[in-house]
Chain A
Amino acid sequence: MSFFFEVLVGGLLAGVMYSLVAIGFVLIYKASGVFNFAQGSMVLFSALTFVSLLERSYPFWLAFVLTLLIMLVLAWVIERWVLRKLVNRSPITLFMATLGLSYIIEGLAQSLWGAQVHGLDLGINDEPFEVLGLLLSQFDLFASAVAGSLVIILSLFFNKTRTGIALRAVADDPLAALAVGINLQRLWLIVWGVAGFVGLVAGLLWGARLGVQFSLSLVVLKALPVLIIGGFTSITGCIVGGLIIGASEKLAEIFIGPYLGGGIENWFPYVLAMLFLLVRPAGLFGERQIERV
């Protein structure tokens, strides 16, 4: 039984890491209705920029601030040269634009900083310690605390600030928002900038675990089922979805995997997500779309 709990706790902690990436998707979807396929590339780009600056002897804080500034410049370029040209186009057009952006950002990251793999040490111990017979890692607990803090800060931002409320209005109807005087360009710049910040935080935590390398952009594959289960518009849903995915994939790999030849944890979350889609298409916390026909 203790092994079961060990797997469960390990899965929950891994799930929090998936949530970190999923939050970036939700931010942009919530504010602009765009499913930003380039979020994974933004994670890679920010982490690679940060670690490259660190290796050029910049102090940690300065590397962080400079990377954040670079992410803001990237957000401005995306808003100015891509999104502004596509206002009020169909969601599939915007999705395809972010798909293209994803490849551009990946290529740009490797052209600017090279293709080597970099180690990243955040100074947080990843060695195990035992609590009630369960193995825990300080790093996992730190990542959970960061994710929890992000959820609280972003929820407050969206619900309690004028900018946050304006962002929700833009997501509901961009043209109506424009009509009442909301500055669409400024808001999109803000939300892409915040998504860049979240991408940087996710990139640092994932980079410390995987090494900063191209595969960071693939962590988005873990975020998709999280979004389907948690809902595309809920930051709290990201955390809950992440916990469900993390725990279920680990338990499935250990207890069901041996009967199916092993290696099932990549596709099992998608099975779960499909089941959720059948029963609850908007996810656990997503907003249901009601349209008059």
Chain B
Amino acid sequence: MKVNINKCAGLVLALNLALVATSPNARADGEQYFPLQSYRIGPYAAGGSGFFGGFIDYLQYVNLKEGGVNNVKLTWSECETEYVVEKGVECYERLKHGLNGAPAAATNPLSVGIAYATLDRSTADKLPLITINHGRTDSTDGSVFPYIFPLQLNPYSEVSAIINYIGTESGGLEKLKGKKIVTLYHGSPYGKETNGILELLAKKYGFKLTLLEVPHPGNEQQSQWLNIRRIKPDWVILRGWGVMNPVALKTAQKTGFPADHIIGNIWSNSEDDAAPAGNAAKGFISITTHPSGTNFPVLQDIDKYVIKASKGNLEDAKRFGTVYYNLGVVNGILNVEAVRVAQEKYGKRPLTGEEVRWGFEHIHLDDKRLAELGALGLVQPLKLTCSDHEGGGAVRFQQWDGSKWNVISDWVQADRDLLRPIIEESSHKYAKEKGITPRDCSKES
């Protein structure tokens, strides 16, 4: 068989060109890519479609109003994960190289399972992994987890802020002594993540803690709530997810526990968690990092430039301004801000994941900047650094009135000084196990 050398050389050249075009370092003329491991079908589709709807609408808004970030257009594509870890990893591998030469900025899977599964890959690929309001608590320590960002609120901060709120409601943290608090948690690694810290807080403040597990998915909770009826707690912390939340509220009503003494965590705080419970949810309190509603300039602008122009991503326009949608918008604001900050250092061009990571680590949102973004009151003041990848650690409390959430508190801060040594202990243990040498953050610029 004769081999045509010229043809072979041509083929090799073409292959090389194709590889160059799809490598993460190749840059298009002015496009920054966001790979979206979204979920719009399956058991958690309600959360996924709301969150990714808000995220995409914000990216669209930046393109339509400002022509992108310093004229670098934002682009994105979706890969359906159905909230399944294996599919999330497959999507990560498929999308991480960028789109048509536009480099990927960061991944945002909105799933603890997928985040855990892609944590090492993200670090190896130098691509930031954003786990807004969730994820692995010790990834707050950026010296060990340089590419992981549990933005705004990690799980430890979440429960610490709830206990601080209960303390305030009781007349001071010292009044917590002798109180009874039950935590009803989802039977999953996510649900169990805060049990240790709750036990520590119980010891510190002297309240009596009972931890009750609800097996996944949580569609039957009769025994847990009968137990709660027997314990007669002062407060119940609901650490739920999906169907577990409305069922908890309904069963609480059935067993006579008042909804206004149940505090939902960050994944028990949406309209989809309260509304299906009907009257049983009236008075239910939950935490939030961002209010629902549309009374923020950025949302009014999205309405004007995106929704009214029929370019919105939501199938049901009524979901505009809901908790999940607004979380997507907040996530969009933080991702885009990271790109903007990084462009100031690296130039106004599409950036690699490594460069965007620098941007995340230098986000500084004070009231002035939030007002410029039209997000004052929607996003909490946030300052991220090399060692602090959470940045905020504050929540507000909201109460369900039967049809919508109303904010009932100012920002309540977690006890971050108490939590930091615990986080560092855990992150350093991880570093030791994995053979990671932590970065010296004092030397990072």
Q: Using CB atoms and an 8 Å cutoff, list the residues of chain A in contact with chain B.
A: 3, 6-7, 10-11, 14, 107, 110, 114-121, 126-128, 135, 137, 139, 206, 209-215, 218-219, 222, 249-250, 253-254, 257, 261-267
Contact = CB atoms under 8 A, between A and B. Distances in A.
B222 A14 contact: yes
A81 B41 CA distance: 25
Contacts of B212: 262
Contacts of A265: 215, 220, 223
Interface string B45-88: 11011000000000000000000000000000000000000000
B256 A210 contact: no
A126 B254 contact: yes
Nearest to B249: A211
Contacts of A128: 253-256
A52 to B, nearest CB: 11
Nearest to A17: B220
Nearest to B224: A253
Given A10-B223, A11-B222, A126-B280, A214 B254 contact: no
A118 to B, nearest CB: 7
B440 interface: no
8 contacts: A127-B253, A210-B276, A212-B276, A215-B219, A215-B242, A253-B224, A262-B211, A264-B215
A120 B246 CA distance: 12
A110 B41 contact: yes
A180 to B, nearest CB: 44
Nearest to B213: A263
A210 B219 contact: yes
A101 to B, nearest CB: 16
Nearest to A110: B41
Contacts of A3: 226, 230
B112 interface: no
Given A14-B220, A119-B275, A135-B256, A263 B214 contact: yes
Nearest to B246: A211
A10 B220 CA distance: 11
Contacts of A126: 250, 253-254, 280
Contacts of A114: 315-316
Given A121-B278, A210-B246, A263-B213, A115 B223 contact: no
A211 B276 contact: yes
Interface in B215-261: 215-217, 219-220, 222-224, 226-227, 229-230, 242-243, 246-247, 250, 253-256
A266 B217 CA distance: 9
Nearest to A209: B250
A261 B211 CA distance: 10
A142 to B, nearest CB: 13
A209 B247 contact: yes
B278 A119 contact: yes
B215 A135 contact: no
For A128, A139, A265, which residue has the most chain B Cβ atoms within 10 angstroms? A265
A267 B215 CA distance: 9
Contacts of A263: 187, 213-215
Contact of B43 (A120, A209, A215, A253): A215
Contact of B220 (A135, A222, A267): A222
Contact of A118 (B44, B276, B280): B276
Contacts of A7: 222-223, 226
Nearest to A125: B279
B319 interface: yes
Contacts of A116: 46, 49, 272, 316, 319
A115 B219 contact: no
9 nearest A-B pairs in the assembled complex, by CB-CB distance: A211-B276, A115-B45, A263-B213, A266-B215, A215-B243, A253-B223, A117-B272, A262-B213, A119-B276
Given A3-B230, A126-B280, A266-B215, A210 B243 contact: yes
A262 B186 CA distance: 11
Contacts of A210: 219, 243, 246-247, 276
A264 to B, nearest CB: 8
Contacts of A127: 253-254
B85 to A, nearest CB: 18
Contact of B255 (A135, A253, A266): A135
B338 to A, nearest CB: 29
A266 B224 contact: no
B172 interface: no
A223 to B, nearest CB: 12
B42 interface: yes
